[in-house]
Structure formats: C-alpha cells, structure tokens
Amino acid sequence: MPQSSDRGWQRPSIYDVARRAGVSHMTVSRVLNNHPNIRESTRSRVLQAIEEMNYTPSSIARALATRRARRIGVVIDGPVQNGPNNTLRALEKAARGVGYAVSAFSISDEDSSQMDSGVMELVTQGVDALCIIAPRASSLDLLRQQSVGLPTIVIKAEADSVWHTVGVDQRQGARLAVRHLIELGHRRIAHLAGPMDWFDARERTEGWRESLAEAGLEEGPFLIGNWSSDFGYEFGRSSDLGDTTAVFAANDQIALGVIHGLHGRGIRVPEDISVVGFDDLSDARHFLPPLTTVRQDFWELGELALQQIIAAIEGDVEPTHDMIQPRLIVRESTASAASA
C-alpha cells in the first residue's frame, strides 16, 4: 500500500514500484509500455507491485517518455444533432478505457468555415491524432486545404483516398427503411431529406432512390430541409399528400414533426400514412405512435473509430475504411398500405 509519513499520504512513484518489485525503474517503464522483451516472471512481479501500491502512472511523465500526449482532438460538426453528439460520447468512453483523453471543438450548423480555427486550436494542444465527426462536404473541403501533419480519421460512410474513415452504412439504412415500406405495399413514398451538404443526408437520399428504382417505383415527393422537427411539422401540416401513403424521414426529429403536423389535420399514423425515421432516438419508442426507425449503434462506432485512431497513431498510414451495419427497428408508425 502507499506509504504515509509526517507529510501525509504521498502518491507512489515508479521508483517505489521498482523497489517493491526488485527491478530497475526502466524495467517498470517497459512493463507499463508493454515492451515484448520482458520475462513473464518479471512482468508478473512488477504488475503485482503496481496493484499492491495502487500505482497510477503520471500522464505527464508518460507523455514525456513516449512523446505522446495520449489525447485525441475531435472536431464535431453539428454538435446539437443526435448522431454527432452520441458519436462523440461513444468515442470519449472508448478513449478513456485505454487511457486517452479527448479534446473537442464544435462547429456550428451555420458556419463550416470554423474548421480552420478548430483544427488549429486542437493541434496547438499537442494532440496525437484528429477525428472529424459527422462532416459536411464544405468543412472537409477546408480540411483538405490544410497540412495538419497528424493522423486523421473521418467519421463518414464513404471511403476516402486521404484519410482513415469509419462510419455507419447510411445508404443501407435507408434501403432497409424503404424496403420495409415497399414490403408493406406502399407505392408512393415521400422522402424528407437533411441538408445536402451533409454526407449522411446524401447517402440516405441515395438509398431511398435506389430502393424505389429496384422496385420499379417512381420517386415520391422529395423535400430538402434541415434536421429539425419544425421542417417535418411544416410538411405534415400543409403538404398536399395526393396518393402518398408513406414518408421516409431523414431522422427521427423530422419524423416526429411529420406525425405532429399530420395529427393536426386529422390524418392518422399509421392508419392513413406510414412514417419511418432514422437514428432510433432514446425517446423514439415513446412517440405516439412508437416510431419505426433505423438504429445506428453509436457505441460500436466509437469503439471502431478508436481502434482506427490508435492504429494510425502507431504508424498505420495507409488509409483504411470500415463500416458497421444499421438495423431496422419496427414499431407502430408503419402499417400495410391496404389499411391506408
């Protein structure tokens, strides 16, 4: 256990651990850094001493020894949106699990030009790598013009020739949603899209189009808006639906607004029209009716992103691309078109 003295409790040092284990402080350092050329008996003795003394390595000392800050810089585009926010939380949790900290810089929805200042601020903090969450095309164009000199990982569904990328298969998620509606007999399916500057919005729109084309169906009404419930509400409140029997909304907030707007006109969901969202918000199962939606596993995404970041920090310089698959969550906001 840590020793006490007249000066009170003192944090044990690497030298205290070395004395307890009967080895040099360099040997303790090699064990802490998983050096391969250490006898198992020595490694076990050092680990036992670390546990007995409740020794925690100084992050400052470790950074000086390895020339790493053990810190990841994250630029998060659209931080108020559910997807980017949850991805950041998942990445932070995964990073803490392996002894890394996260510094984040948020770019507002209105100003993608903040990418320059965000990257500069994080680089000056001495981060080991950069991660860009939920980027817009405009913000990535700005990043391409910079020479950061750090491993950079971008959270997006498409591969990139410059950066490591990881993401949820947004196009496949949209296809799951639209195919579900087609299987229910819907033939006129509207899509309320997010801003086309967002990669995720583009991919979801392409998934909608591809699914309709594969089924030999014409595209239904297509509106581009923002990610807000207000956008969906205006559509539900005032749009001429004609023979439209289903709506694929680009996220759950839009879907919530659609349901609210339709309700004000006496149009029932799903009896008169079916609605599907995207994201599976924690409250989506409590919408009235509970929302059919596409679930993104942000915790798995955070783990996968961290694996790529660590690999890049350790010298994996060739751009890689990994994706996780979304899931369709069927609830009560969709029904057979025969009942519409």
User: Same structural domain for residues 333 and 262?
Assistant: yes
Question: Taking residues 57-85, what's their average pLDDT?
Answer: 67
DSSP 259-301: HHHHHHTT--TTTT-EEE-SB--TTGGGSSSPPBEEE--HHHH
| Domains identified in the chain, total number | 3
Domain boundary among 14, 39, 65: 65
User: Same structural domain for residues 97 and 55?
Assistant: no
User: Same structural domain for residues 214 and 332?
Assistant: yes
- Quick one: pLDDT at residue 267? 96
User: Same structural domain for residues 291 and 191?
Assistant: yes
User: Same structural domain for residues 78 and 23?
Assistant: no
Is residue 189 within 8 A of residue 178, CB to CB? The reply is yes
| pLDDT surpasses 90 at 3 | no
Domain boundary among 14, 30, 65: 65
State pLDDT tens for residues 217-256. 999 999 999 999 999 999 999 999 999 999 999 999 999 9
User: Same structural domain for residues 196 and 334?
Assistant: yes
User: Same structural domain for residues 215 and 269?
Assistant: yes
The CATH number of whichever domain residue 48 belongs to comes to 1.10.260.40
Question: Model confidence at 5, in pLDDT bands (50, 70, 90)?
Answer: very low
- Quick one: pLDDT at residue 36? 66
Q: Which domain holds residue 142?
A: 69-168+298-325
pTM beyond 0.85: no
User: Same structural domain for residues 125 and 41?
Assistant: no
Please list, in sequence order, all residues whose beta carbon lies within 8 angstroms of the beta carbon of residue 115, skipping any fewer than 6 positions away: 75, 107, 139, 140, 142, 143
User: Same structural domain for residues 88 and 179?
Assistant: no
User: Same structural domain for residues 30 and 58?
Assistant: yes
Q: Name the residue type at position 110.
A: E
What gap in Å lies between CA 223 and CA 233, rounded to an integer?
A: 13
Is residue 42 within 8 A of residue 23, CB to CB? The reply is yes
